[in-house]
Amino acid sequence: MSAQEPVSTPPAPPVPLAALLARRDLGLRLLAGPEDASLHWVHTSEMTDPYPYLLGGELLMTAGVQLSDPAWYVERVVEAGAAALGFGVTPVYDTVPAELVEACTRHGLPLVEVPPQTPFTAVARALWRLMAEARLKELRRVTEAQQSLATAAARPAPVPAVLGALASRLGGRAVLFAADGTQSAAAGRAVPDEAAGALADLAGVVGPRPGGPATASGNSGGLRLAAYALGGGDGLTLGVATEHHEPGNHTIAGVAVVLLSLLTAPHRGADTAARDAALVRLLLGATPAEAARALDPGPWTVVHARGGDGTPFAAAALAAALGTSLVETPDGTAVRLLLPASTPVTSQPGWTLGVSAPVEARDLAVADTQAARAVRRAVTMRKPLVRHRESGPLSLDDARARLAPLADNSALVETLRTWLSLHGSWDRTATALGIHRNTVRQRIARVGTLLDEDLDDPDVRMELWFALRQE
């Protein structure tokens, strides 16, 4: 992986080590550890201590050029969070050192033997191809599921049909719960009583009440459980039980939530959807007095979104995933949403989001402007989500909370401090710390990921500098 690679957002889902081992052309052999490790990327290093160069999740490749203490080396690799270790035999070693195998076995670190005829670049290329295939498979699965659900919604008995299509696509069970917790309809394979009871309990947690969670998830009886509140206002909830947690499951369930919300609320038609959109426009452009009369005082969050997959349900599915029914598409492409500030806003596959600061109802127009600016920055920086951040004085407690994700990594803290003091200069920071400039880049990228901050934003840099000065 080059130093320019966006480490905070891997281009595709991780690939299990077993998939790489199955490539016969590579001739890889597992010598220690499990084969179900998840690989995010490949990194090659012949450094005595690879720790400063690792970000976590890598298949670390080495020929052992400077391998003097295998036990210590493995400890450092494990501490850095690498997913697996690949050892190339020849020209330094004819076989993988027994001490290295023992150390990997002791730490549970997968150790893969790379034969002489297999270049490290071939392993890296194979992993990226597997990742691309996984991404394409995920997108195809979601698209086909959306089409299947839309077709089911047009059948004579649409609610059972949508539940059946959802259960089939997820390979599990889909249940529609009434407001009193009883099952209104169900489809798919039966689940153990323990899981069925847990799913009903989970469904009772969510609901359309203001400020309440729109989704909840858990595990029971070896199954992955999820519950989604429908938007019809009558307390219906969708429960889903699956054997495996696939990346696209949440998106597929979100489409089903939108369809079921419409199907179970027959009074909601085009006029109601128009009123919802009009309400959003009112709230985002009305006078403070009008907004306060139309909505609870708040606080509220405004979200602007761009992207989607082009399907008719894209915006509605996004709204369902974020837990709100207040959504509009002003020009058919951009999307604006309004949701309680207590509802967490996370990145959504296929979307670029800009999130305002929490505001009272009287300040919704200001929040709308903040969200618009944030989504423009997100598009420019190619980030899935950017939040508007208010600048202000930091207390000691605020500073500690801001830097808490770095508390256990003094190297990252010192690199950040030096980098900020030198105005973001990679070369001067590397010289000051006595490390390679690529190491500086990797550490700063890791800092941005851990803090969930945009370190290209001068306001963020200023705030972090003041936070470091408070420590």
268 pLDDT above the threshold of 50? no
Q: 372 or 325, which is more confident?
A: 372
3 pLDDT above the threshold of 50? no
Tokens of 147: 């089409």
Q: What is the pLDDT of residues 22-46, one digit of tens each?
A: 999 999 999 999 999 999 889 999 9
Of 192, 104, 146, the residue nearest 314 (C-alpha): 146
| 3 state SS of 131 | helix
Distance CA 399, CA 466 (A): 8
The pLDDT of residue 9: 39
Distance CA 87, CA 328 (A): 54
23: left (phi over 0), alpha (psi -120 to 50) or beta: beta
Contact 54, 73 (CB under 8 A): no
Cα atoms in the Cβ-side hemisphere of radius 13 Å centred on 233: 6
The pLDDT of residue 317: 72
Distance CA 135, CA 295 (A): 41
Q: Is the pTM of this model over 0.85?
A: no
In the chain, the amino acid numbered 410 is: S
Tokens of 348: 């959504």
Of 428, 422, 412, the residue nearest 461 (C-alpha): 422
Of 202, 200, 255, 247, the residue nearest 231 (C-alpha): 255
Q: Enumerate the H helices of 286-423 as residue ranges.
A: 288-294, 314-322, 364-381, 396-403, 410-421
Of 153, 160, 156, 157, the residue nearest 174 (C-alpha): 160
Distance CA 282, CA 328 (A): 12
Distance CA 322, CA 317 (A): 9
> Quick one: what percent of the chain has pLDDT higher than 90?
38
The pLDDT of residue 172: 92
